Every structure is written in structure tokens, then in C-alpha cells.
Amino acid sequence: MGKVFAVGVGPGASDNLTESVKKIVLNSDIILGYKYTLNTISNFIQGKQVHEITMKNQEEVYQKISKELGNRTLVVPFTGDVNFSESEVVDRLIEIFGDVEIIPGISSIQVAASKAKVPIDKSKVITMHVTTSIEEKKLELQKALVDGYNVILIPRPWPKDPEKHFMPSEIAKYLKQNGFDTSNMKVNVFETLTGENETSFEGMVEQLEGKEFSDLSVIVFNQATLESYINFE
């Protein structure tokens, strides 16, 4: 069996690609990835065997390549950091290929926190971007906000199933229904971070109701207060 790498390629712009990941991609033979992720590394995959995958065909492609890999090197790129919000796919790669080397990348979580000026060490990071139930994660969101934490959140796009679709508008309505004063809660929503079509929203949670955002969104609930070292002298 050849080598298999799961790598994070950053939020979107190729200049956020780490040198270690770039080197692995350049030295690979086969690339399997989603369209958006492949676009991020398009300058480094010419001449390679490239397979664009979707949620519908990924299992078929993984199984096919596992039988054909031989002594070649396979890279499966993930948008952002492979260690965040991608565990369901990475676990499946390990089940199929066995030894998978995981190489981190810059996460949209880091970029969003920087833009909102919210320290990650004073925040709760929550991803709703899973196929399993998110009911416990919803309760986790409520508790984090009640406890005064900032929350950096990856929503769940599922437009074909309204019961599972949990994007900024749905989140705003959910919080209001559970007693939060959403007219007085600061929030940022960042879309397509570092990409050419990057956009941002800054306002109150209540204003998110009825607004549509892309699948590549990160929400930051900002409850931060400045606490510099001078306050503790």
C-alpha cells in the first residue's frame, strides 16, 4: 500500500496553504477532493490523477482508489484544517486505507476569530457540520452563551431537509425561542473567508432572521471584553 495523506489546505486562498502541505501535494500522484477544495490547490495539481468527489460518490471513489493505489501517494485535501469538522470523513478514510497521515492547515475558525478580534482561548468552538444529531450541540451553544463565552460556530447547511438545516437564520430563531434577547447579542458572520468572494455581516443576532448565507459560513457570537495584563497588576 502506498502513502495516504489527509491535509488541510486553508479556508480558500492558496496563499494560506502551508509549505508542508504544498510539498506533499506537489509530490503526490493522486488527488481526491471536493470542487471548492481542489480550486484552492489548482496551481499545484497539474499532471496528477485528480478525482472531483461529492457526498454522493465519495464512497465509490475511495473504494476504487484503495484497490488501485499500489505504491503511489494519495492526497485527500480538506478546506481549512483537517482536524476540525471533518472527523466523519477522516475516520472513513482510516477505515478504508488504514494508515492515514494527517497534516493540519489554517482553519476558517482562526481567520474568523482574528477578524472579529475574539480570542479563541476565551471562546467555545462548536461545529454543527455533522450528519448526526445536533441537539446536544444546540444545548452546548446555549450554555456557552449563558456562561458568557464567545462562540465560534460552523452552521449546518441542509437545504433539502428543513429539520436538519441549521444556518444563521435558523440559529437566530432558535435562540430567540429559547429566551435569548437576540436584539442585544453581537454577531459576525463571515462567508468564503480569504476567497475572492469573501463577505461579512456585523450586527445583532436578531438581524440574521430571514437572511441567507453560503455553505461556507462561520458565525462568531462576540461577548468579548478587553482584559489586558495591566488589569491584573
Residue 226: what pLDDT?
84
Say if residue 131 is in the same domain as residue 83: no
pLDDT tens across 49-95, in order? 999 999 899 999 999 999 999 999 999 999 999 998 888 999 999 99
DSSP-derived secondary structure for the chain: --EEEEEE-BSS-GGGS-HHHHHHHHT-SEEEE-HHHHHHTGGG-TTSEEEE--TTTHHHHHHHHHHH-TT-EEEEEESB-TTSS-HHHHHHHHHHHS--EEE----HHHHHHHHHT--GGGEEEEE--SSS--HHHHHHHHHHHHTT-EEEEE-B--TT-TTT-B-HHHHHHHHHHTT--GGG-EEEEEESTTSTT-EEEEEEGGGGTT----SSEEEEE-------GGGG-
**112/152 same-domain check:** yes
Span 2-42, pLDDT tens digits = 999 999 999 988 889 999 999 999 999 999 999 999 999 99
**Residue that terminates a domain, selected from 88, 103, 118:** 103
CB-based contact 180:193 (threshold 8 Å): no
Query: Nearest 10 degrees: CA dihedral of 154, 158, 163, 164?
Result: -40
207 and 112, same domain (yes or no): yes
Provide the mean pLDDT of the chain. Answer: 95
Of the candidates 67, 84, 103, which is a domain's last residue? 103
Residue at 232 is within a domain:
no
Same domain, 91 and 9: yes
Give a yes or no: residue 229 inside a domain: no
Domain-located, residue 60: yes
Q: Can you give the residue range of the structural domain that contains 60?
A: 3-103
Number of domains the chain contains: 2
- Quick one: pLDDT at residue 196? 87
Instruction: Flag whether 233 is in a domain.
Output: no
Q: Are residues 190 and 151 in the same domain?
A: yes
User: What pLDDT, in 10s, does the model give residues 119-177?
Assistant: 999 999 999 988 899 999 999 999 999 999 999 999 999 988 888 999 999 999 999 99
- The answer as to whether 163 is a domain residue is yes
Q: Which of 58, 85, 103 is the last residue of a domain?
A: 103
Is the pLDDT reported for residue 104 higher than 90? yes
Full-model pTM: 0.87
